[in-house]
């Protein structure tokens, strides 16, 4: 894949970039290793100061950063600005809380026959981050903020269609004061990942993206016995039970499905509705979709812009066509929008059966799959009948039902009467083929730490 900014709203190539050579990558790794030797000795206070300075710059530059992301991958300007401000919040969160999360953790010294015993959190070293285009800054910041606070140094291989966002993140961190060796963007294709990952100078890796990419990186890292965090796809259920506020559930369901033009790992993708409220929900849901404004993502009135890549639209089209060919009913949408760029109509499909690809695949675009169920057991059975396990949403005011959903949905996160969202204050990650490890909170910062046990007689 060429490393280039191509505007998804027009299909025009805006800017192309050369890939780094192998020698340039080698130099970058040398820089990272020597940088780590001094960076790891900096104080928490110093790192927090640089994190806060990064947040300040992001806030000051939010309009320009948003325009850049919109041009690179087609999200609406409003959501791109919100993403930029969320990144600032993420940096501040680790600036404020990182030192406490990384403080020595005292153990019961007497129980282990010591005068003192504790766990110390030390950085691992050079961490490779392989990131996707759908949240060009936030995905990378979820890694960078905790990793830098912990004293690691990062090398970023971003998706080939968001090179300007990748270069911006490197630049803003340097302008905020971080030494240049602390965080480097490598403009390279994924073909160079294996040799970097196998390089002894690289200690660990994190990847957010598709299952095939995750599997490949995990296999190489496993072979090298290196730690990875994987945040892969999802096909989150959105379950609605009779006690729920149906209008509110349907309104949130629309946002949960079409946010980021439908391209979010934690977007709700399968809408599992109790038969007693199915018709009512579908009316509200379809109405909500009908009201969506599709168009130029730089226009304030636009709700849904283009898909980020032509391939992404083709994949989505194939999923819908396959389902319709096997008997799914199109309640709204169902085809591409005939205009330049990679637009696809927000679409709702009913009568989904398990022989359709959309039953098991991740629909990475504004396409909702509807299921009608008779009771909570059937709802949970369908929710869990997937290889994914990232997020889950359930709407009910019945506390016993809420407990059942919390307990029985197989996922890394469950949101009741709301939609799955990432917050620095909450852990983020999945189970099953949605990946492993956790981002954000103290769990995220500890992922790239050597948790060293210390025992003193
Ligand atoms: P990919 O997984 O292909 O890309 C994500 C990142 O991984 C990019 O930096 C990419 O680089 C890199 N990459 C790709 N293949 C490999 C590999 N074999 N080894 C190492 N790195 C690799 O996602 P796509 O953009 O192709 O999207 C495909 C599907 O992935 C989507 O339809 C969706 O289902 C899922 N996805 C999930 C995301 C999430 O948030 N969990 C985000 C994006 C996609 P390069 O761009 O150079 O190929």
Domain assignment present for residue 170? The answer is yes
Asked whether residue 241 falls in the same domain as residue 181, the answer is no
> In this structure, are 191 and 281 located in the same domain?
no
Comparing C-alpha atoms, which of 196, 192, 352 is closest to residue 272?
352
429 part of a folded domain: no
CATH number at residue 241: 3.40.309.10
Give the β-pairing of 435-436 and 413-416. Answer: unpaired
Q: Are residues 128 and 193 in the same domain?
A: yes
Task: Report whether residue 231 contacts ligand 1, using a CB cutoff of 6 Å.
Answer: yes
Beta-ladder partners of 208: 231
Give all strands (DSSP E) within 163-305, no chain letters: 183-185, 204-208, 227-231, 236-240, 268-274
Dihedral sign (CA 229, 231, 237, 238): positive
The rounded distance, in Å, linking the Cα atoms of 345 and 157 is: 31
Q: Are residues 172 and 297 in the same domain?
A: no
Beta bridge partners of 237: 270
Residue 61: CATH number of its domain: 3.40.605.10
Partners of 119 in beta bridges: 105, 453
Q: Along the 457 residues of the chain, how does pLDDT read in single tens digits?
A: 799 999 999 999 999 999 999 999 999 999 999 999 999 999 999 999 999 999 999 999 999 999 999 999 999 999 999 999 999 999 999 999 999 999 999 999 999 999 999 999 999 999 999 999 999 999 999 999 999 999 999 999 999 999 999 999 999 999 999 999 999 999 999 999 999 999 999 999 999 999 999 999 999 999 999 999 999 999 999 999 999 999 999 999 999 999 999 999 999 999 999 999 999 999 999 999 999 999 999 999 999 999 999 999 999 999 999 999 999 999 999 999 999 999 999 999 999 999 999 999 999 999 999 999 999 999 999 999 999 999 999 999 999 999 999 999 999 999 999 999 999 999 999 999 999 999 999 999 999 999 999 999 9
Tokens of 258: 């079409």
pLDDT on residue 1: 75
Q: Is the CB of 260 under 6 A from ligand 1?
A: no
Q: Is residue 218 part of a domain?
A: yes
Smallest Cα–Cα separation from 144: which of 129, 166, 165?
129
- Residue having the nearest C-alpha atom to atom 25 of ligand 1: 132
pLDDT of amino acid 344: 98
- On whether residue 74 sits in a domain, the answer given is yes
The response to whether residue 302 sits with its C-beta less than 6 Å from ligand 1 reads no
Measure 239 CA to ligand 1 centroid, in angstroms: 28
Residue nearest to atom 42 of ligand 1 (CA): 209
231 classed as catalytic: yes
Asked whether residue 426 is assigned to any structural domain, the reply reads no
Q: Which residue's entry shows tokens 């504790």?
A: 118
Catalytic residue among 265, 401, 439, 447: 265
**Residues 202, 225 contacting (CB under 8 angstroms):** no
Residues spanned by the domain of 160: 4-232+434-456
Q: Which is nearest to 415 in space by CA: 240, 233, 211? A: 240
Q: How many domains are there within the chain? A: 2
Query: Residue 400, Cα to own-chain centre: how many angstroms?
Result: 31
Query: Distance (Å, rounded) from C-alpha 335 to C-alpha 317?
Result: 7
**Does any domain span residue 47?**
yes
Q: What is the DSSP string of 35-65?
A: HHHHHTTS-HHHHHHHHHHHHHHHHHTHHHH
Within a domain: 425 = no
Given the structure tokens 């790192």, which residue do they identify? 47
- Other C-beta atoms closer than 10 Å to the C-beta of 400 total 8
- 439, 298: one domain: no
Candidates 193, 210, 344: which one to mutate for ligand 1, based on the most atoms within 8 Å of Cβ?
210
Residues 57 and 146 in one domain: yes
Residues 444 and 377 in one domain: no
427 belongs to a structural domain: no
- Determine the distance separating the centroid of ligand 1 and the alpha carbon of 233, expressed in angstroms: 10
CA of 434, closest atom in ligand 1: 41
The reply to whether 383 and 446 lie within a common domain is no
Radius of gyration of the chain (CA): 23
Q: Tell me the ipTM for this assembly.
A: 0.96
| Whether residue 251 is found in the same domain as residue 225 | no
CA–CA separation, 400 vs 241, rounded Å? 12
Residues 204 and 317 in one domain: no
User: Is the shortest distance between the CB of 195 and ligand 1 below 6 Å?
Assistant: no
The answer to whether residue 182 is catalytic is no
One domain for residues 10 and 143? yes
Q: Give 210-214 contacts, CB < 8 A, sequence gap 24+.
A: 210/132, 211/433, 213/130, 214/435
Phi, psi of 416 (to 5 degrees): -100, 130
Same domain, 144 and 283: no
């Amino acid at each position: 894949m060429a490393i280039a900014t191509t505007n998804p709203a027009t299909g025009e190539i805006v800017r192309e970039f050369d890939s780094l050579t192998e020698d340039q990558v080698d130099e970058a790794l040398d820089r990272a290793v020597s940088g780590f030797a001094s960076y790891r000795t900096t104080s928490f206070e110093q790192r927090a100061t640089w994190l806060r300075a990064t947040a300040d710059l992001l806030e000051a530059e939010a309009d320009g950063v948003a325009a850049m992301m919109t041009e690179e991958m087609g999200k609406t300007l409003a959501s791109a600005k919100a993403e930029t401000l969320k990144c600032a919040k993420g940096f501040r969160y680790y600036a404020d809380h990182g030192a406490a999360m990384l403080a020595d953790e005292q153990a019961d010294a007497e129980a282990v026959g010591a005068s003192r015993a504790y766990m110390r959190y030390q950085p691992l070293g050079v961490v490779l981050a392989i990131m996707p285009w759908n949240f060009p800054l936030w995905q990378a910041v979820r890694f960078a903020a905790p990793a830098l606070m912990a004293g690691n140094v990062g090398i970023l291989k971003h998706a080939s269609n968001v090179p300007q966002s990748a270069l911006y993140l490197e630049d803003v961190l340097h302008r905020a004061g971080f030494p240049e060796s602390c965080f480097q963007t490598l403009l390279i294709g994924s073909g160079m990942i294996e040799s970097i990952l196998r390089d002894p100078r690289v200690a660990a890796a994190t990847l957010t993206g598709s299952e095939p990419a995750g599997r490949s990186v995990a296999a190489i890292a496993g072979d090298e016995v290196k730690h990875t965090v994987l945040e892969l796809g999802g096909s989150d259920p959105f379950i609605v039970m009779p006690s729920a506020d149906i209008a509110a559930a349907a309104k949130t369901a629309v946002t949960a499905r079409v946010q980021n033009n439908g391209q979010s790992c934690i977007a709700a993708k399968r809408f599992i509705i109790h038969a007693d409220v199915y018709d009512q929900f579908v009316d509200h849901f379809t109405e909500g979709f009908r009201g969506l404004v599709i168009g130029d993502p730089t226009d304030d009135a636009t709700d849904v812009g283009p898909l980020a890549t032509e391939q992404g639209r083709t994949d989505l089209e194939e999923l819908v066509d396959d389902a319709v060919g096997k008997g799914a009913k199109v309640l709204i949408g169902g085809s591409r929008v005939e205009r330049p760029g990679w637009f696809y109509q927000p679409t709702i499909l009913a009568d989904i059966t398990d022989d359709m690809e959309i039953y098991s695949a991740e629909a990475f675009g504004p396409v909702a799959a509807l299921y009608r169920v008779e009771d909570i057991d059937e709802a949970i059975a369908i929710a869990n009948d997937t290889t994914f396990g990232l997020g889950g949403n359930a709407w009910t005011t019945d506390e016993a039902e809420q407990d059942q959903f919390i307990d029985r949905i197989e996922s890394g996160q469950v949101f009741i009467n709301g939609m799955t969202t990432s917050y620095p204050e909450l852990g983020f990650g999945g189970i099953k083929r949605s990946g492993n490890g956790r981002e954000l909170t103290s769990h995220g910062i500890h992922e790239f730490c050597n948790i060293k046990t210390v025992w003193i007689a």
